[in-house]
Chains A and B, each alone.
Chain A
Amino acid sequence: MADATTTITAPADQPAVRVEGRQRPSTRSRGPYEWTLIVLSALFAIIAFWFVGSIFFKSLPAFHQQGLSLVTGVGWNPTDGTTPSHYGLLTMIIGTVETSGIAIVFAVIIGTGTSLAINFFLPARLRTIVATMVELLAAIPSVVYGIWGILVLAPWVLNTFGPWLSSLPGGTAVFGTTLAGKSLLLAAIVLAVMILPTYVAISREVIGAVPHELVEASLSLGATKWQTLWKTVLPTGRIGLFGATSLALGRAFGETIAVSLLAGGVVQTNYHPLAEGTSLAAFIANQFGEAQGSDQIPALFAAGFILMLMSFGMSLLSTRLVARQRKAAMAS
């Protein structure tokens, strides 16, 4: 349908208008309407390039001053200007990857199970209610998950869960003597809770779109319920599931508030999940207020630039992979 080409004959004094697949109007008839659209789109293109450019150029002084040690170094030591200050972003980079990595593993495992259960085990009437609820939950702002983490979860870990872990035989050896209320793992868990509705909202639709004939064929060949889900439903929906994963991962990457409240905000080299740490986005938010007027600002912009590279790289990768898989699926 999309590739259909229709030729419509206009009144005799006008040339025929060719309506191609995506309804491209003839270039000859650019009136004020077309120009308005073009100008608005150009404006957006300018904003987008300005966006990338301003973050890049603002971070240049920091890269210029420190070179690659800005990325590979650890520490955050601003000075009053008499001696050169030293900034290292490795803690934040690893913290970002670690928290969102742990979160996405939890979210994908639990989220896929939830989507399968919603689509195949829940009665049809409940299904729509649950689907609406999931989408509403996906719209809850992240600061709400953040306050739940800091006001409920962190005190619980500090006062109840941590002491219990330490009281286990060998607990102190594995978890240390005291479990801080804040940690990378706590941030990761809240991130997982936060991105779960986003993941389920999409994966539920993806799994619901798997043709019923495939499921019935598999079951009629004698496959068990789980074999059908594992070998038919999930492989069929893998492109969409991959898309859902990368979207959720992108949300975890860029999450600022929850991580800034929960990870502890400490710049150090201990990357144990139970240690305190920080992420790129969270560190920018924590530090930005105090950084005014100092050379911390370019270093924070450098953190933003790295975050931007990570985010853009990931969305590029995911569109590539989705396109390739879609092509492979078409071919087979």
Chain B
Amino acid sequence: MTDLLSPIDSEVRAHVRERAEATRARRQAVSSIMTGLCWASIAVAAVPLVMILVELFSKGWSYITTSSFYTQLPQAPTLFAQNQLGGISNSLVGSLVLIVYACIAAVPIGIGIGVYLAEHDTKPAAVLRTVTATMIGAPSILMGLFAYSVIVIQFGVGFSILAGSFGLAVLMLPLIASTTELSVRNVPHTLREAGLALGARPSTTSLRIVIPAALTGIVTGCILAISRAVGETAVVYLVIGGTASAITWKPLDFGNSLPSTIYGDVQSSYSSQHDQAWGIALFLVLVIFVLSLAARIWSARKQKVRR
């Protein structure tokens, strides 16, 4: 102990302490710089997103609050009447019809696949699960090419609403399947066991007990898939024909959708059409926000009730 108090030793200790202080100070400095950078990255991330939202609302608001925007057919501006625009009634109906047809195919099949995947742990199910995951990641333009080669060429239907719906259905299928699988798996084991213990057949147990219990998740998944399909441009743009200027619901007609109208408007040389593109974009964004918020709130409330 006495050694520690010798003058040389205290010098060493002072040195060591000094070094430790320096290291600590350096680490603190690095820490505050890096945490500062984390804050900065929030700002960097927020700026463009806020700019987009501001632009959307400032340019699009006057369109979505005008009733003729929804009720009139579009009129292409000409050199002499640069501001004539009309509305978007045809693409509004077009988008609605596309989604409805796509849902008729994708919702039942997707739910069926999801339930199958959740209830089976066999080799084919594992393969199908991989296929589903891969399809979710596949670029949407490929669905457009697929719809083109199958519906437009192979079946000889030609460019049509049907082809667009087919592409959207292929896009929605794996999304619905995977969310359904997840929510069926999340149903407590005990519920299914209780059903089986009461002597119900496995199929009755699934249909009457497990699927109703998972219904919130399934519906949420469907709504999210729909909101994805509503904004999908590439798939529909490739195969829908895109030049229809009338309102139609017939699956074999040429059609028009909101995102492909935006895509066309933006490439026009008239600034009035650019502004209309903002209006359609704002409308789309609001529809998608409402859909996904509704799904979120509804599923949160249901979950609270169950607990």
Chain B stretch 16-39: residues in CB contact (< 8 A) with chain A? 27-28, 30-32, 34-35, 37-39
Q: Which residue of B lies closest to A22 (CB)?
A: B121
Interface flag for B123 (CB, 8 Å)? no
Task: Give, as a whole number of angstroms, the nearest-CB distance from B145 to chain A.
Answer: 5
User: Given the complex of chains A and B, what is the CA–CA distance between A315 and B120 in angstroms?
Assistant: 23
Is B134 touching A256 in the complex (CB atoms < 8 A)? no
Complex interface: chain B residues within 8 A of A254 (CB)? 138-142
Q: Given that A17-B202, A23-B189, A307-B141 are known contacts, is A147 also in contact with B119, CB under 8 Å in the complex?
A: no
Complex interface: chain A residues within 8 A of B113 (CB)? 37, 40-41, 44
Q: Given that A113-B38, A121-B39, A315-B137 are known contacts, is A141 also in contact with B233, CB under 8 Å in the complex?
A: yes
Interface flag for B66 (CB, 8 Å)? no
Complex interface: chain B residues within 8 A of A105 (CB)? none
Is A308 touching B281 in the complex (CB atoms < 8 A)? no
Interface string of A305-332 (1 = CB under 8 A from B): 0011001101110010000000000000
Interface flag for A85 (CB, 8 Å)? no
Task: Give, as a whole number of angstroms, the nearest-CB distance from B147 to chain A.
Answer: 10
Q: Which residue of B lies closest to A116 (CB)?
A: B38
Interface flag for B182 (CB, 8 Å)? no
Is A29 touching B119 in the complex (CB atoms < 8 A)? no
Interface flag for A109 (CB, 8 Å)? yes
Task: Give, as a whole number of angstroms, the nearest-CB distance from B93 to chain A.
Answer: 19
Complex interface: chain B residues within 8 A of A43 (CB)? 109
Is A25 touching B238 in the complex (CB atoms < 8 A)? no
Is B139 touching A256 in the complex (CB atoms < 8 A)? yes
Complex interface: chain A residues within 8 A of B116 (CB)? 37-38, 40-41
Task: Give, as a whole number of angstroms, the nearest-CB distance from A257 to chain B.
Answer: 5
Is B138 touching A301 in the complex (CB atoms < 8 A)? no
Complex interface: chain B residues within 8 A of A139 (CB)? 224, 227-228, 231, 288-289, 292
Complex interface: chain A residues within 8 A of B219 (CB)? none
Interface string of B42-57 (1 = CB under 8 A from A): 1011001101100110
Chain A stretch 97-156: residues in CB contact (< 8 A) with chain B? 109-114, 116-118, 120-121, 132, 135-137, 139-148, 150-152
Is A141 touching B230 in the complex (CB atoms < 8 A)? yes
Task: Give, as a whole number of angstroms, the nearest-CB distance from B183 to chain A.
Answer: 14
Task: Give, as a whole number of angstroms, the nearest-CB distance from A33 to chain B.
Answer: 4
The tally of CB-CB contacts under 8 A between chains A and B is 271
Is B149 touching A151 in the complex (CB atoms < 8 A)? no
Is A33 touching B263 in the complex (CB atoms < 8 A)? no
Q: Given that A307-B139, A308-B142 are known contacts, is A44 also in contact with B173, CB under 8 Å in the complex?
A: yes
Interface string of B273-303 (1 = CB under 8 A from A): 0100110010011001100110010000000
Is A54 touching B202 in the complex (CB atoms < 8 A)? no
What class of interface size applies to chain B in its complex with A? 35 or more
What class of interface size applies to chain A in its complex with B? 35 or more
Interface flag for A193 (CB, 8 Å)? yes
Complex interface: chain A residues within 8 A of B44 (CB)? 110
Task: Give, as a whole number of angstroms, the nearest-CB distance from B154 to chain A.
Answer: 8
Is B266 touching A151 in the complex (CB atoms < 8 A)? yes
Interface string of A281-315 (1 = CB under 8 A from B): 10011001100000000001100100110011011
Interface flag for B214 (CB, 8 Å)? no
Chain A stretch 238-280: residues in CB contact (< 8 A) with chain B? 247, 250, 253-257, 261
User: Given the complex of chains A and B, what is the CA–CA distance between A36 and B132 in angstroms?
Assistant: 18
Interface string of B248-280 (1 = CB under 8 A from A): 000000000001001100110000001001100
Complex interface: chain A residues within 8 A of B173 (CB)? 44, 47
Complex interface: chain A residues within 8 A of B143 (CB)? 51
Is B137 touching A311 in the complex (CB atoms < 8 A)? yes
User: Given the complex of chains A and B, what is the CA–CA distance between A114 and B130 in angstroms?
Assistant: 31
Is B131 touching A147 in the complex (CB atoms < 8 A)? no
Is B203 touching A226 in the complex (CB atoms < 8 A)? no
Among A5-13, A68-76, A87-95, A174-182, the stretch that binds chain B is A5-13
Task: Give, as a whole number of angstroms, the nearest-CB distance from B195 to chain A.
Answer: 10
Task: Give, as a whole number of angstroms, the nearest-CB distance from A82 to chain B.
Answer: 25
Q: Given that A121-B38, A137-B49 are known contacts, is A150 also in contact with B193, CB under 8 Å in the complex?
A: no
Other than the known A10-B199, A141-B284, A256-B141, what 10 A-B pairs have Cβ atoms closer than 8 Å? A6-B193, A55-B145, A112-B41, A121-B35, A142-B231, A147-B281, A148-B55, A254-B141, A301-B149, A316-B134
Interface pairs (22), CB distance under 8 Å: A19-B196, A23-B189, A24-B121, A25-B203, A34-B203, A36-B112, A41-B128, A44-B177, A45-B131, A47-B173, A51-B143, A51-B146, A113-B41, A141-B231, A151-B266, A196-B49, A224-B28, A230-B34, A308-B139, A311-B139, A315-B134, A319-B130
Shortest Cβ-Cβ A-B pairs, 4 listed? A254-B139, A141-B231, A113-B41, A40-B112
